Amino acid sequence: MKFAPLFIALFTIGNLLNAQDRLTGETFTTRSEILAQNGMAATSQPLATQAALDILKKGGSAMDAAIAANAVLGLVEPASCGIGGDIFAIVWSAKEQKLYGFNGSGRAPKSLSIDYFIDKGMKYVPFYGPLPVSVPGCVDGWFTLHEKFGKIPMKDILKPAIDYGNNGFPVSEVIAYEMVSNYESVQGQPGFADTYMPNGRPPMKGEVFVNTNLANTYQLIANEGRDVFYKGSIAKTIDSYMKKHGGFLRYEDLANHTSNWVEPVSVNYRGYDVWELPPNGQGTAALQMLNILEGFDIGEMGFGSTEYLHVLTEAKKLAYEDRAKFYADPEFNKIPLETLLSDEYAAQRRKLINMDKAADTYPAGDMEIETGNTTYLTVADKDGNMVSLIQSIYSEFASGMVPDELGFVLQNRGQMFNVQDKDHANALEPGKRPFHTIIPAFITKDGKPWVSFGLMGGAVQPQGHAQIVVNVVDFGMNLQEAGDAPRMRHTGSSQPTGSEMTNGGTLNLESGFAPETRRELRKKGHRIGFGVGMYGGYQAIGVDLENKVYTGASESRKDGQAAGY
């Protein structure tokens, strides 16, 4: 009987690590993949997923459905996304058998320079208030993407979001938690409480939240098009609001905004081409990590092993040093992408990894030239088109600045500029795009679409992307298993804003990893942490071209849903 307490403890730990009794697949998986032939949508909130499916069933394209879902998410997930933020996408055109990349990020105000911060002795752009606000690129992104890939009118696309805004919707569990947990820092910003604190606080789970101001804004956009936001009444309202509250964003900044079609960049990882967008986003870091990891026998190491988590963490540290030094607006900098993504450079960087010891510091490549919240969604239609789309206002509730009666918060993406060093690639300059965290992803096999996926959550995104690819390619997981699998997130790397890693950072591990793995990682010198809600949120759609079947997945860390028909 003296062994009973030990047995109970071991049994309890075993149950915690393997909480589900599934008939098939990995024990950590929360549910089966979703299978359908005619269309698929995966978003971080079920109402948005259903809106996307409704658009598909009405004859809309994958892009039409993605925009509809994004508009709904801006309403139902307002701490993470909305039309006050930016948008990026990777689109597979079935007709052309080609991938398109889209950068819909906005620029710094023309009237704001780095000297403002240097003169005031400010080492960083603040998170809240008017100073971090940059031009919102989302609405222009919708219309530019719709012009190329849309099929039905924008009025029909925005109608679900308008209806929910006017009639209300019940706030879902994780989103309610995020809203309640993150409003205090911004509740004093002008217009915030009027929009997001109807009862003196944000709405709780299950409460019906109405945002008629946002519904009216959506209706204006549906009726008058893109220009009402950038050159019409909405732009004028934003201009007046920012002038009143000490901001630098002006009507001229909005009127001059443009999006960009860009060429996606890729590396081949064990026969699969993994695609990301080039800077000013951070997708290149995921590709750099995969290039480094390809030199190790990851499959032999095994999922959750000490060896795998060690090399994964060290690869992340290496890639993020380059991320801190080189990633910035390519219109202002020459970025050595070809070198950063070369096999030769990956081999050079790989040699720096000590298999027995975690590094406190790594150098960035010698070449000339962590906060975040987001929503990711992916949609596929009956014609074979696939959209990988990500949209964000940056941190939770962003700047907190809500222009008069417009119903949305302005992003604080300008917080990512470096205001310490005028010579840094990511130094703030008038009209420059800041370093960006949000990144969509795509995988092709032999030139054909295979998986559209993304993983939201600030600086976790590249390391999350790499883990998803490794889970599927090296460990043979299906798309649902790949997202539900326990995840790591390393924090404390050097940043494009000017901070530097000196102590190796912290390796945060979800509770699904074995205690002995944590112990062995500590022996290698890793500082082990544990955080809740910091590991991102993932959605994915895969395609089986032989059987003409879509596979959808939405992980359990969010309120999301994958559904098809």
Active site residues: 374
Annotate 256-295 with DSSP letters as a single string: T---EEE--EEEEETTEEEEEPPTTSSHHHHHHHHHHHTT
Find residue 89's DSSP bridge partners: 102, 389
Distance CA 322, CA 342 (A): 14
Residue with tokens 């990349």, as numbered in its chain = 101
Q: What's the CA gap between 557 and 444, in Å, rounded?
A: 26
Q: Is residue 156 exposed (0-12), middle (13-18) or buried (19+ Cβ within 10 Å)?
A: middle
Phi, psi of 201 (to 5 degrees): -160, 165
Quick count: other Cβ atoms within 10 Å of Cβ 201? 14
Rounded to whole angstroms, the Cα distance separating 197 from 215 reads 17
Q: Report residue 145 as tokens.
A: 């993407």
Cβ neighbours, 10 Å, residue 3: 8
Closest to 414 in 3D by CA, of 14, 22, 103, 113 = 113
Q: Which DSSP letter does residue 359 get?
A: -
What is d(CA 377, CA 191) in angstroms, rounded to the nearest whole number? 28
Q: What secondary structure letter does DSSP report for 339?
A: H
Give counts: helices (H), strands (E), the chain.
20, 19
Per DSSP, what are the bridge partners of residue 203?
Answer: none
In angstroms, the Cα distances linking 551 to 67, 439, 451, 542 are 21, 21, 9, 5
Q: 535: burial class by Cβ within 10 Å (0-12, 13-18, 19+)?
A: buried
- Give me 485's structure tokens: 């699998």
Q: Tokens in use for 439?
A: 């990144």
What stretch of H or E contains 98?
A: strand 98-104
DSSP string, 53-97: HHHHHTT--HHHHHHHHHHHHHHHSTTT--TTSEEEEEEEETTTT
Helical (H) or strand (E) element with 305:
none
Would strands 265-269 and 272-276 be described as parallel, antiparallel, or unpaired?
A: antiparallel
Nearest to 105 by CA among 75, 72, 139, 132: 139
